[in-house]
Amino acid sequence: MAATAGQAFKGLGMRRTVLLVITMLLSGRAMTMAFIADAGSGVAGDPPAAWLMPLVGDALIGLSALAIGYLIVRGRGLAAWVAIVVWNVIGIWDALSAFLVNESTPWPEFFMIEVFGASMFFAASAMHLVNLSLITHRELRNHYLTQRGASPRT
Protein backbone atom coordinates (compact mmCIF):
# COMPACT_ATOMS: atom_id res chain seq x y z
CA MET A 1 0.00 0.00 0.00
CA ALA A 2 1.39 3.42 -0.95
CA ALA A 3 2.20 5.86 1.84
CA THR A 4 0.37 9.17 1.91
CA ALA A 5 2.29 12.44 2.01
CA GLY A 6 1.49 12.77 5.70
CA GLN A 7 2.88 9.31 6.44
CA ALA A 8 5.99 9.96 4.37
CA PHE A 9 6.88 12.99 6.49
CA LYS A 10 5.77 11.46 9.80
CA GLY A 11 8.57 11.60 12.31
CA LEU A 12 10.52 14.33 10.52
CA GLY A 13 9.02 17.15 12.55
CA MET A 14 7.83 20.44 11.12
CA ARG A 15 11.23 22.15 10.85
CA ARG A 16 12.92 19.23 9.11
CA THR A 17 9.92 18.84 6.80
CA VAL A 18 10.11 22.50 5.77
CA LEU A 19 13.89 22.18 5.38
CA LEU A 20 13.41 19.16 3.12
CA VAL A 21 10.65 20.76 1.02
CA ILE A 22 12.67 23.94 0.43
CA THR A 23 15.75 21.86 -0.45
CA MET A 24 13.77 19.82 -2.97
CA LEU A 25 12.39 23.04 -4.50
CA LEU A 26 15.98 24.26 -4.85
CA SER A 27 16.83 21.09 -6.77
CA GLY A 28 15.08 22.82 -9.68
CA ARG A 29 18.23 24.88 -10.11
CA ALA A 30 19.64 21.82 -11.92
CA MET A 31 17.59 22.74 -15.00
CA THR A 32 20.41 25.11 -15.96
CA MET A 33 22.31 22.05 -17.23
CA ALA A 34 20.29 22.46 -20.41
CA PHE A 35 22.04 25.77 -21.11
CA ILE A 36 25.67 25.05 -20.16
CA ALA A 37 26.74 23.72 -23.57
CA ASP A 38 25.34 26.82 -25.31
CA ALA A 39 27.03 29.41 -23.09
CA GLY A 40 29.05 31.82 -25.18
CA SER A 41 27.92 30.38 -28.54
CA GLY A 42 26.85 33.79 -29.80
CA VAL A 43 23.52 32.46 -31.08
CA ALA A 44 20.57 34.69 -30.29
CA GLY A 45 18.86 33.55 -27.11
CA ASP A 46 21.83 31.56 -25.83
CA PRO A 47 23.56 32.63 -22.61
CA PRO A 48 26.55 34.96 -22.82
CA ALA A 49 29.92 33.37 -21.96
CA ALA A 50 29.95 35.19 -18.60
CA TRP A 51 26.98 33.04 -17.57
CA LEU A 52 28.97 29.78 -17.63
CA MET A 53 29.98 29.97 -13.95
CA PRO A 54 26.45 30.75 -12.65
CA LEU A 55 24.98 27.99 -14.84
CA VAL A 56 27.46 25.39 -13.59
CA GLY A 57 26.95 26.61 -10.00
CA ASP A 58 23.18 26.28 -10.30
CA ALA A 59 23.51 22.82 -11.83
CA LEU A 60 25.77 21.65 -9.01
CA ILE A 61 23.51 23.13 -6.34
CA GLY A 62 20.45 21.56 -7.97
CA LEU A 63 21.96 18.10 -8.37
CA SER A 64 23.51 18.06 -4.91
CA ALA A 65 20.13 19.02 -3.41
CA LEU A 66 19.20 15.36 -3.73
CA ALA A 67 22.12 14.30 -1.53
CA ILE A 68 21.36 17.10 0.91
CA GLY A 69 17.74 15.93 1.04
CA TYR A 70 18.98 12.48 1.97
CA LEU A 71 21.12 13.97 4.75
CA ILE A 72 18.13 15.94 6.04
CA VAL A 73 16.09 12.75 6.34
CA ARG A 74 18.71 10.14 7.25
CA GLY A 75 21.85 12.02 8.28
CA ARG A 76 23.14 12.47 11.81
CA GLY A 77 26.34 13.87 13.23
CA LEU A 78 28.60 16.83 12.65
CA ALA A 79 29.45 15.92 9.04
CA ALA A 80 25.78 15.86 7.96
CA TRP A 81 25.01 19.12 9.77
CA VAL A 82 28.06 20.89 8.30
CA ALA A 83 27.27 19.61 4.79
CA ILE A 84 23.75 21.03 5.00
CA VAL A 85 25.04 24.39 6.30
CA VAL A 86 27.84 24.66 3.72
CA TRP A 87 25.52 23.68 0.84
CA ASN A 88 23.16 26.51 1.76
CA VAL A 89 25.98 29.05 2.15
CA ILE A 90 27.35 28.09 -1.28
CA GLY A 91 23.82 28.32 -2.69
CA ILE A 92 23.49 31.90 -1.43
CA TRP A 93 26.89 32.82 -2.83
CA ASP A 94 26.03 31.27 -6.20
CA ALA A 95 22.66 33.04 -6.49
CA LEU A 96 24.10 36.43 -5.56
CA SER A 97 27.08 36.01 -7.88
CA ALA A 98 24.62 35.18 -10.68
CA PHE A 99 22.82 38.43 -9.88
CA LEU A 100 26.11 40.32 -10.30
CA VAL A 101 26.78 38.55 -13.60
CA ASN A 102 23.26 39.45 -14.75
CA GLU A 103 23.88 43.09 -13.89
CA SER A 104 27.15 43.22 -15.86
CA THR A 105 26.23 40.84 -18.72
CA PRO A 106 22.44 40.50 -19.03
CA TRP A 107 20.80 37.48 -20.58
CA PRO A 108 17.36 38.95 -21.28
CA GLU A 109 16.13 35.99 -23.35
CA PHE A 110 16.27 33.60 -20.38
CA PHE A 111 12.64 32.75 -19.58
CA MET A 112 13.21 32.90 -15.79
CA ILE A 113 14.54 36.46 -16.07
CA GLU A 114 11.68 37.39 -18.41
CA VAL A 115 9.13 36.12 -15.89
CA PHE A 116 10.70 36.99 -12.53
CA GLY A 117 13.41 39.53 -13.28
CA ALA A 118 16.26 39.94 -10.82
CA SER A 119 13.98 38.86 -7.98
CA MET A 120 14.68 35.22 -8.86
CA PHE A 121 18.26 35.57 -7.57
CA PHE A 122 17.02 36.99 -4.28
CA ALA A 123 14.26 34.38 -3.99
CA ALA A 124 16.82 31.57 -4.26
CA SER A 125 19.04 33.31 -1.71
CA ALA A 126 16.08 33.77 0.63
CA MET A 127 15.19 30.08 0.38
CA HIS A 128 18.76 29.12 1.31
CA LEU A 129 18.67 31.66 4.13
CA VAL A 130 15.47 30.12 5.52
CA ASN A 131 17.20 26.74 5.38
CA LEU A 132 20.15 28.15 7.28
CA SER A 133 17.88 29.55 9.96
CA LEU A 134 16.15 26.17 10.28
CA ILE A 135 19.31 24.04 10.40
CA THR A 136 20.92 26.31 13.00
CA HIS A 137 17.80 26.35 15.19
CA ARG A 138 18.41 24.63 18.53
CA GLU A 139 15.95 21.80 17.79
CA LEU A 140 17.59 20.77 14.52
CA ARG A 141 21.11 21.47 15.70
CA ASN A 142 20.46 19.10 18.61
CA HIS A 143 18.89 16.52 16.30
CA TYR A 144 22.01 16.35 14.13
CA LEU A 145 24.70 16.92 16.75
CA THR A 146 23.39 14.86 19.68
CA GLN A 147 24.08 11.15 19.80
CA ARG A 148 20.97 9.00 19.79
CA GLY A 149 19.86 8.38 23.37
CA ALA A 150 21.95 11.25 24.80
CA SER A 151 20.31 14.28 26.37
CA PRO A 152 20.21 17.30 24.02
CA ARG A 153 22.23 20.43 24.67
CA THR A 154 20.37 23.67 25.30
- Considering the entire predicted model, what is its pTM? 0.85
- CA 29 centroid distance within chain: 8
CB 32 within 8 Å of CB 6? no
Q: What is the largest CA-CA distance in the chain?
A: 60
Q: How far apart are CA 99 and CA 124, in angstroms?
A: 11
Q: Could you list the pLDDT tens digit for every one of the 154 residues in the chain?
A: 455 555 555 677 999 999 999 999 999 999 999 989 999 888 888 889 999 999 999 999 999 999 999 999 999 999 999 999 999 999 999 999 999 998 998 876 776 777 777 888 999 999 999 999 999 999 999 999 987 655 555 5
Cβ contacts of 29 within 8 Å, gap of 6 or more: 58, 59, 61, 62, 65, 91, 124
3-state class (DSSP) for residue 76: coil
pLDDT at residue 153, rounded to an integer: 58
Domains of the chain: 13-35+49-145 (1.20.140)
DSSP state of 137: S
Give the number of other CB atoms < 10 A from CB of residue 120: 17
Task: Kindly write down the DSSP assignment for every residue of 85-101, as one continuous string.
Answer: HHHHHHHHHHHHHHHHH
